[in-house]
């Protein structure tokens, strides 16, 4: 009997936004892997900490600060090898994922390496998308609305084209792209309908209408939600 | 002291996909409201049943089978009045929502009526979007992908235009629109990259590549997920 890799969405940040299923599985799993920075704490582990049994073997998948393609690939290769060793020996491995495993997550890299060889289950989690909507206090989309999720890393013209034709949009990974995104929304006359949210449901959560935001830079975990009509029910 | 209305996302169907926060709040709340059909059980209540205290006052918001605009509006007016009565008397009211409250949910109707007058909190839940991706066993979107959520109720030409320019798409509320959606995907050469999922994470869950689906009709809780490149990591 081989083990199963289980991608567990631990939600957007508030440990209470984990699912009952995620918490139950974590309480008994023998091996737990999670993404982590080169040095220091893993956010995903911190969210799930209350449910990790002290006896679990832990695998911190540490990402080098440099974003060159080669080292990142090799980090995932090594992590997949280590996880495969446990699976081959019949041990299930939980892989913690911030938000939801299949919604813009780095879990994809492990999934692509593991799913060919081993059974992989996914426990969905609360995504940053709906967490940010909850924090902003406005419905994301309703009825016949088209909702578009746009990484802020896309070029200005792509952002502009997509924003022009959607009813609602979530611009994710805002980070250093904030001034560019703001300029595009201004151009389209949408800045007044945009809400800015960072670190949704975490202790340092922050949100405001985009028009009232004075910062020129945003953290990676930030999002801008826009609705063409101003509100989903308008 | 007035009460607070709390929209709680109970997740896509599996009761274990409720959040710890949703379960905790439900265990102590004095009043619980939920959408229900004209006769019979409420799905949202069924998902949350294990956490409802027997002492809670329950408000079933029963939707008439007829979908005329007028009666639906008056059903929400009456429900908002009943909920407001409890809030005015200092009692918190949990409002159960399938999936996530702000992701294409009928909670919007109550939110629009209550939020002007009372404090309203939202506890986000696992949405059908990520639940269907988990069931299909394929990442929804990654990296620079544009992800578009499209209600199947949209006209063919809108579906075609939006599907042509997105990397990934989730077509929701497929229902009786299945043949139309399938024809549009065929036209665009995307049918081979489409996964069909119904009743994700429920007892009667069903999923298959769209190309292998023989049914001409789908239930309301069904979704088609498409990725232009076939996979989020391709």
Other C-beta atoms within 10 Å of A77: how many? 12
A21 is a domain residue: yes
A234 is a domain residue: no
Same domain, yes or no: B21 and B72: yes
* 3-state helix vs strand vs coil in chain B, percent to 5: 35, 25, 40
Domain boundary at A68, A89, A123, which? A123
- Spans of chain B below 50 pLDDT: none
- Taking a C-beta distance cutoff of 8 angstroms, is the pair B201, B167 a contact? no
**pLDDT value of residue B69:** 55
Other C-beta atoms within 10 Å of A165: how many? 15
- What letter does residue A19 receive in the DSSP assignment? B
- What letter does residue A115 receive in the DSSP assignment? T
Same domain, yes or no: B110 and B132: no
> A4 and chain B: CB distance < 8 Å anywhere?
no
Q: Residue B146 is nearest to which of A12, A140, A149, comparing CB atoms?
A: A149
> B72 and chain A: CB distance < 8 Å anywhere?
no
B233 is a domain residue: no
Contact B14 A23 (CB under 8 A): no
Rounded distance, CA B102 to CA A149, Å?
15
CA angle B92, B93, B99 (to 5 degrees): 135
Measured in residues, chain A has a length of 234
Q: Tell me: the pLDDT tens digits for A57-103?
A: 999 999 887 665 556 889 999 999 999 999 999 999 999 999 999 99
The CATH number of the domain holding residue A77 is 3.40.1010.10
Same domain, yes or no: A133 and A223: yes
3-state secondary structure of B49: helix
On the question of pLDDT at A217 being above 90, the answer is no
- Taking a C-beta distance cutoff of 8 angstroms, is the pair A197, A225 a contact? yes
**pLDDT value of residue B65:** 73
A51 is a domain residue: yes
Domain containing B186: what range? 128-227
Number of structural domains chain B divides into: 2
A233 is a domain residue: no
φ/ψ of A154, rounded to 5, equals: -70, 155
Q: Residue B18 is nearest to which of A20, A103, A233, comparing CB atoms?
A: A20
* Cα separations in angstroms, A164 against A62, A133, B23: 39, 21, 40
Rounded distance, CA A109 to CA B121, Å?
35
Rounded distance, CA A225 to CA A127, Å?
14
Same domain, yes or no: B14 and B118: yes
Contact B103 A140 (CB under 8 A): yes
Whole-angstrom distance between the N-terminal and C-terminal Cα of chain B? 56
Q: Tell me: the pLDDT tens digits for A30-50?
A: 999 999 999 999 999 999 999
B232 is a domain residue: no
Same domain, yes or no: B208 and B160: yes
Q: Tell me: the pLDDT tens digits for A142-199?
A: 999 999 999 999 999 999 999 999 999 999 999 999 999 999 999 999 999 999 999 9
The CATH number of the domain holding residue A204 is 3.30.950.10
């Amino acid at each position: 009997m081989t083990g199963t890799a289980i991608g567990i969405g631990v939600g957007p940040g508030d440990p209470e936004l984990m699912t009952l299923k995620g918490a139950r599985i974590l309480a008994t799993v023998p091996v737990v892997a999670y993404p982590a920075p080169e040095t220091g704490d893993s956010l995903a582990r911190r969210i799930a900490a209350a449910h990790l049994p002290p006896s679990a073997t832990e695998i911190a998948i540490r990402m080098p600060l440099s974003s060159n393609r080669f080292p990142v690939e090799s980090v995932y290769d090594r992590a997949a090898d280590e996880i495969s060793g446990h699976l081959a020996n019949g041990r299930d491995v939980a892989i913690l994922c911030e938000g939801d495993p299949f919604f813009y997550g780095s879990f994809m890299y492990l999934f692509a390496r593991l799913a060919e060889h081993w059974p992989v289950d996914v426990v969905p989690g609360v995504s940053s998308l709906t967490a940010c909507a909850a924090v902003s206090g406005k419905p994301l989309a309703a009825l016949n609305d088209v909702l578009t999720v746009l990484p802020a890393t896309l070029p200005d013209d792509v952002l502009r084209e997509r924003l022009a034709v959607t009813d609602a949009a979530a611009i994710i990974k805002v980070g250093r792209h904030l001034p560019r995104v703001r300029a595009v929304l201004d151009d389209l006359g949408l800045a007044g309908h945009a809400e800015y949210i960072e670190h949704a449901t975490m202790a340092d959560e922050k949100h405001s209408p985009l028009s009232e935001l004075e910062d020129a830079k945003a953290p990676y975990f930030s999002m801008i939600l826009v609705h063409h009509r101003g509100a989903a029910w308008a």
